Amino acid sequence: MDESAEAGGGVPERFRATPGTLYVVATPLGNLRDVTLRALDVLGSVDAVAAEDTRVTGVLLRHYGIATRPLSLHAHNEAARAERIVAMLRTDRSVALVSDAGTPAVSDPGARLVRSVRDAGFPVVPIPGANAAIAAVSAAGLAAERFLFLGFLPGAAKARRDLLASVARLPVALVVYEAPHRVRAAVADLGRALGLERSLVVAREITKKFETITRMPLADASGWFVGDPNRERGEFVLLVDAPPVAQAVPGTAALDVRRLLAALVDELPPARAARVAAAATGLARDALYAQALSLKGERG
């Protein structure tokens, strides 16, 4: 740990990688300015950089004048590379793990390497930074206070539908990564599985020149993509907000829940009203609290 970075220490000194350590380093999503100073320190002081695509990582390293030559680590060679990297750590060398963009081992290669390094008894140090899912959530304005990250949906249509059906009624937002060639099919499946009335936020090309973050009902999503072929280009985060309160538990009538909350809000503060309604209906208290606040606002 870099002690000079602790609070009250003034301007921290440059961080240097420790021998026999694997660093999991987050890199920019697109804009090369979105890299942390500590990430640059690590990339410049490790003995090797394990990269998902050496050409992509090479651009970042050259941009910041870092001479460390990356070695490839991707889904097809991760097991063999893990053995080699553990052997490097045994000889007191240090290694940084990076993906093409964002945080490694989150819907990207790296988890197997991290496991192997930990199993071999060597430290793994995260160097936090950019993450597409968190960036998208922060700019989406979700009503839900909690979200479930699903990563990339399965490629097979049936597996995709089965997964979405299993989470359709959860009282949380859903966050999905998607590739451009599958985004329209994924949006169609989201609408069928979750309901066309739910809100979708499309976050496309985050931090890049053509960044787009837009909100719409799932019912309008297919038409939105058809309206401009360029909207299918780039990397996507799809965020579906939580279902309406009454849909969180099958068989609950929307009118009954709203009526109950309205009556409770007339007599109790919103937090207590939500607590009572949650006990009576079995629905999520957070979602009920959000609706109670809305009802309180309507009543002035």
Between 194 and 281, the higher pLDDT residue: 194
Kindly state whether residues 50 and 120 are assigned to the same domain: yes
Q: Which residues are paired to 182 by β-bridges?
A: none
Q: Are residues 105 and 116 in the same domain?
A: yes
Q: Are residues 143 and 187 in the same domain?
A: yes
Residues 138 and 113 in one domain: no
3-state secondary structure string across 85-137: HHHHHHCCCCEEEECCCECCCCCCCCHHHHHHHHHCCCCEEEECCCCHHHHHH
Greatest Cα-to-Cα distance within the chain, rounded to the nearest angstrom: 70
Q: What is the mean pLDDT of residues 200-219?
A: 96
Domain containing residue 9: CATH number: 3.40.1010.10
Please give the average per-residue pLDDT across 117-126, as a whole number.
98
On whether both 121 and 25 belong to a single domain, the answer is yes
- Mark whether 268 and 233 lie in a shared domain: no
Question: pLDDT tens for residues 270-292?
Answer: 888 888 887 777 676 777 787 78
Domain boundary among 130, 147, 174: 130
198 and 113 within one domain = no
Of 130, 145, 174, which residue is a domain's last? 130
For residue 247, name the pLDDT band (cuts at 50, 70, 90).
low
Per DSSP, the three-state class of 289 is helix
Among 130, 154, 189, which residue terminates a domain? 130
CA distance 296 to 300: 6
Q: For residues 239 and 254, state if they share a domain.
A: no
The reply to whether 145 and 201 lie within a common domain is yes
| pLDDT for the residue 248 | 52
pLDDT band at 3 (very low <50, low <70, confident <90, very high): very low
Give me the count of residues in the chain.
Answer: 300
The structural domain count of the chain equals 3
Domain that holds residue 264: 246-298
Q: How far apart are CA 15 and CA 1, in angstroms?
A: 9
The 10s digit of each residue's pLDDT in 88-97 is 999 999 999 9
